[in-house]
Amino acid sequence: MKNKFKILIIIGCLIAIGTSCEKIIPNAPADDEILDGPIEGLTPEQNRLFLNGDVAFNGDVFSSANGLGPMFVANSCGSCHAGDGKGHPFTTLTRFGQSDTLGNKFLLIGGPQLQNRAIPGFQPEKIPVGATFSNFTPPANTGLGFFEAISDASITALADANDADGDGISGRPNWINITQYSELRPGTIVRNGKYIGRFGKKASVYDLLQQTANAYNQDMGVNSTYEHYNTYDNQEIDPEISNQKVLDVVFYLKTLKAPIQRNQNNADVIAGKQLFLNISCGKCHTPQLQTGPSNIAALANKTFAPYTDFLLHDMGQALDDKYTEGTAMTPEWRTPALWGLGLSKNSQGGGYHLLHDGRAKTIDQAILLHGGEAEQSKNKFQQLPSNDKAKLIKFLESL
Amino acid sequence: MKKLLTLFLIVLLAKQGFAQIDPDLLRVPDRDSARIKLNMDAVYDRPFLQVAKLPVALGGYAEANYQYLGSDGVTEGHQFQMRRLTLFVSSGIAKRIKFLSELEFEDGTKEINIEFASIDFEFNPLLNLRGGIVMNPIGAFNQNHDGPKWEFVDRPISATQMLPATWSNVGFGVFGKKYLKNWVYAYEAYLTNGFDETIIANSENRTFLPASKANRDRFEESFNGAPLLTGKVALRNSKIGELGLSYMGGIYNKFQDDGLVLDEKRRLNVFAIDFNTIIPKLNTFVNAEWAWVNVDVPATYTEQFGGKQQGGFIDIVQPLIKKPLFGFERAVLNAAIRMEYVDWNKGNFSSTSGNISDHIYSIIPAVSFRPTPQTVIRLNYRYNWQTDLLGNPAAKLAGFQFGVSTYF
């Protein structure tokens, strides 16, 4: 009788444990607290493609056995984009060799990207004498499908190359050469044989396929049929990664969700957004844009809030590294998207590393390093009472 | 023809063996597998069955479990696993010559390993020669890893994800013991094949000594021609407990090939300390191990692969009930807890001087029921906090594990 009672207790405990499984695992973070995850509205087939890309992006690690290097910057996509967020200075990459709009004169001696690491037994690359350079902290890679799906016309509509409206802000697209494998978007605008770049710190990349193939090649030293010249000796070699893998990652990047704003009904956040617009930050960090047609229905004709205009702006001397890409001038940078800014600390090791090279350790510092076309807005920010500054920063942190 | 002959011999021997099996002839040592003499004795301290005049003794253990684990709201659901089926074969070849072996099937037949297969020659209690596939005596767990001895479903993280348990290699060495009243002094020293470059070039994306286990060639040839030295000294007092100090080190990279220099010689060094005791009166069993790993990682390689690691675990097992239960005469119900920590990359980023994280904390409260000393039914609750290289918010993993393990 006593034993039967014990057995019943044990069985009861096991049933209790079994039925409480869902409650014993740690909770998922709120959707607006993380950057990874797919956009809403993907089909089951697209979900499978997304997962394939997720595995390739966050799971694949390269070593000398599967194509890493010999020279490289990082050995996996996830090394630079932890949690799909902004990167940490330890994987900051360096570009060198172009100081004007005529092109990179160091392409045959390692340009444009420095591979500052090497597999054992090899030596990493060094910046050639006489080459100017700039350091680029890895950007967040969320919401990039929206970037891809915006039309060229929407971008040019925001441009004001000659500052016709006299507001001191004169954004213009970066007109670039595109790769042979890039597929032109519907409505692509061509000017003098050049196309509008939209990805990268200088908007020197046309699409996500180029961005991805280039990252495999230049960041990891992994060749594909798209980028088949080895960064080590500039020789054409067999692909080290399949086209399918590259395309899986492209699909993943296209369908990563856009960052979700937090606390958007908070009074300070609402006031901060108004201040942001009042001091003309929104003239470059455009609050809202619309995508055009897309072969992924969930991305077609959607309104999104990236806080960028995809245009180049002169940011002044302090941010002029004397290095450039495409037809951008050296002090010109593509307006970085501000969405996801508040979550940057969660992917950058608990602190901010902002601006193109991570030199700003707070949002306040980042604003104060603005110059050139942003000089007036910066001055207006400085003149704000401290509680208004706090509200504006609270708004930025909500993004 | 050769195959046919081999098959015939196997069938013949098997037939004879089965024909002679009679439970009365089986000799099972009456012992408690959870309480051993010294960790280095673990390979001898296993239950073997000797069938009449059969020249070999047989044994083994099995481990199966169920788990439901989830990380940050995502779970793989209900998982049933056959973690291990291990077979022992031993033979007393002569009075002081023994053969011992351990063949392990992990996760069904996903991994099949000869974990141990050595011939021991005893010249003197203080001088034994061992040759074959030996388990490198680093820390305590590597040699003393049999599932039924532990109250936890998972093996310690530091022992399997930092140290490479179960880590065995082909080599030779010596060992010995000396008894003085309440004390036992022991030593082991082996030269074996060793690690390879995968410890800093692997899919784990961190310095990972267990990566070398995938190199099957190490049972045939050394990766670089340089031997791995593993040595341990241990002392045990019957009233205090056992303390072990161990070292394992050698060159892990291919520094030359075909007479050509490929790289400078790069070493790895591992130091470990282990301790176990039974607290008198309470009868609480405490078992702990801590290890430090130093790897010469090229400065021009990525900081993703750390040059220094450290970690360990402590198990505390408290018998609660020791009396006949459910018809088992020597049943014991234990409460236990394991606490673990591993830092896979100890150091600072050169770019920011900030701490490199890549560490894990884990705690596992457990209940175990031993119907016999050599069999355990265990229920664990695991909770991990794992932080990535950059120190971003920790990923939390938790869930229940239920398992059974027994010698046979």
DSSP line for A314-352: E--GGG--S---TT--TTEEEPPP-TTGGGGGGTTTSS-
Report the pLDDT value the prediction gives residue B32, as an integer from 0 to 100. Answer: 45
DSSP B43-78: TTSS--EEBTT-SSEEEEEEEEEEEEEEETTEEEEE
Query: Of B204, B302, B400, which is closest to A74 when you measure between CB atoms?
Result: B302
Distance between first and last Cα of chain A: 64
In chain A, residues with a C-beta closer than 8 Å to the C-beta of B379 are: 17
Q: Which amino acid is at B101?
A: S
Classify burial at A189, counting beta carbons within 10 Å of its beta carbon; exposed 0-12, middle 13-18, buried 19 or more. middle
Closest CA–CA distance from residue A82 to any residue of chain B (Å): 8
> Which residues face B259 on adjacent strands?
none
pLDDT digit string, tens, across residues A58-114? 999 999 999 999 999 999 999 999 999 999 999 999 999 999 988 899 998 999 999
Tokens for B167, please give them: 């880590």
Nearest CA in chain A to B394: A346
| Beta carbons of B274 and B174 less than 8 angstroms apart | no
Nearest CA in chain B to A126: B300
Report the pLDDT value the prediction gives residue A22, as an integer from 0 to 100. Answer: 65
Tokens for B343, please give them: 């830092």
Helix axes A267-278, A386-398, angle to 10 degrees: 100
Residues 34-73 of B with CB under 8 A from A: 68-73
CB contact under 8 A, B72 and A26: yes
Report the pLDDT value the prediction gives residue B272, as an integer from 0 to 100. Answer: 98
Report the pLDDT value the prediction gives residue B108, as an integer from 0 to 100. Answer: 86
Using left for φ > 0, alpha for ψ between -120 and 50, and beta otherwise, residue A336 falls in: beta
Is A334 inside any structural domain? yes
Collect all residues with Cβ–Cβ distance below 8 Å to B159 and sequence separation of at least 6: B139, B141, B142, B145, B165, B289, B313
Q: Does residue B292 belong to the interface with chain A, where contact is any CB pair within 8 Å? A: no
CA A97 from centre of chain: 23
Q: Does residue B112 belong to the interface with chain A, where contact is any CB pair within 8 Å? A: no
Report the pLDDT value the prediction gives residue A281, as an integer from 0 to 100. Answer: 96
| Beta carbons of A236 and A229 less than 8 angstroms apart | yes
**What is the rounded radius of gyration, in angstroms, for the C-alpha atoms of chain A?**
23
Distance between first and last Cα of chain B: 35
φ and ψ at A221, to 5 degrees?
Answer: 70, 30
DSSP A28-45: PPPGGG---SBPTT--HH
Q: What domain count does chain A have?
A: 1
Best of B303, B390, B401, B402 to mutate (most A CBs within 10 Å, chain A) = B390
Cα-based distances in Å from A338 to A21, A99, A261, A311, A334? 39, 27, 11, 14, 12
In chain A, residues with a C-beta closer than 8 Å to the C-beta of B303 are: 90
| Positions of chain A with pLDDT lower than 70, given as ranges | 1-4, 6-7, 10, 13-22
| Beta carbons of B258 and B54 less than 8 angstroms apart | no
- In terms of Cα–Cα distance, which of A30, A26, A50 is closest to A40? A50
Report the pLDDT value the prediction gives residue A19, as an integer from 0 to 100. Answer: 63
Q: Which amino acid is at A231?
A: T
| Beta carbons of A129 and A75 less than 8 angstroms apart | no
- In terms of Cα–Cα distance, which of A319, A324, A336, A310 is closest to A370? A319
CA A357 from centre of chain: 13
- In terms of Cα–Cα distance, which of A28, A35, A29 is closest to A86? A35
CA distance B398 to A26: 6
Q: What does the buried/exposed string (b/e) look like for A24-57 if buried means 16 or more CB atoms within 10 Å of the residue's CB?
A: bbbeeeeeeebbbbbbeebeeebeebbebbbebb
Is A322 inside any structural domain? yes
Q: What is the largest CA-CA distance in chain A?
A: 94
CB contact under 8 A, B349 and A89: yes
Nearest CA in chain B to A7: B326
- In terms of Cα–Cα distance, which of A219, A216, A221, A220 is closest to A232? A221
Query: Of A25, A88, A353, which is closest to B70 when you measure between CB atoms?
Result: A25
φ and ψ at B152, to 5 degrees?
Answer: -125, 140
φ and ψ at A172, to 5 degrees?
Answer: -145, 155
Is A327 inside any structural domain? yes
Report the pLDDT value the prediction gives residue A1, as an integer from 0 to 100. Answer: 55
Helix axes A44-59, A243-255, angle to 10 degrees: 110
CB contact under 8 A, B390 and A348: yes
| Sign of the CA dihedral with B253 first, then B257, B259, and B262 last | negative
Q: Does residue B92 belong to the interface with chain A, where contact is any CB pair within 8 Å? A: no
Is A29 inside any structural domain? no
CB contact under 8 A, A24 and B399: yes
Is A390 inside any structural domain? no
For A297, half-sphere exposure in the C-beta direction (CA atoms, 13 angstrom radius) is 6
CB contact under 8 A, B400 and A24: yes
CB contact under 8 A, A346 and B203: no
In chain B, residues with a C-beta closer than 8 Å to the C-beta of A78 are: 205
In chain A, residues with a C-beta closer than 8 Å to the C-beta of B201 are: 63-65, 68, 119-120
Is A264 inside any structural domain? no
CA distance B144 to A231: 48
Report the pLDDT value the prediction gives residue A361, as an integer from 0 to 100. Answer: 96
Report the pLDDT value the prediction gives residue A3, as an integer from 0 to 100. Answer: 58
CA distance A224 to A237: 9
| Positions of chain B with pLDDT lower than 50, given as ranges | 1-2, 4-36
Predicted-complex ipTM score: 0.89
Locus of tokens 């348990």? B165
Is A189 inside any structural domain? yes
| Sign of the CA dihedral with B382 first, then B388, B391, and B393 last | negative
CA distance A93 to A115: 8
Closest CA–CA distance from residue A55 to any residue of chain B (Å): 12
DSSP A149-173: HS-HHHHHHH--TT-TT-SS---B-
Query: Of B197, B303, B400, which is closest to A17 when you measure between CB atoms?
Result: B400
| Helices assigned H by DSSP within A168-242 | 208-214, 220
Nearest CA in chain B to A73: B302
CB contact under 8 A, A21 and B399: yes
Q: Which amino acid is at A4?
A: K
Report the pLDDT value the prediction gives residue B27, as an integer from 0 to 100. Answer: 42
Show the domain range for A311. 41-258+280-383
Tokens for A208, please give them: 């996500």
| Helices assigned H by DSSP within B156-271 | 157
Nearest CA in chain B to A6: B326
CA distance A224 to A239: 4
For chains A and B, what is the number of CB pairs under 8 angstroms? 126
| Sign of the CA dihedral with A342 first, then A343, A345, and A348 last | negative
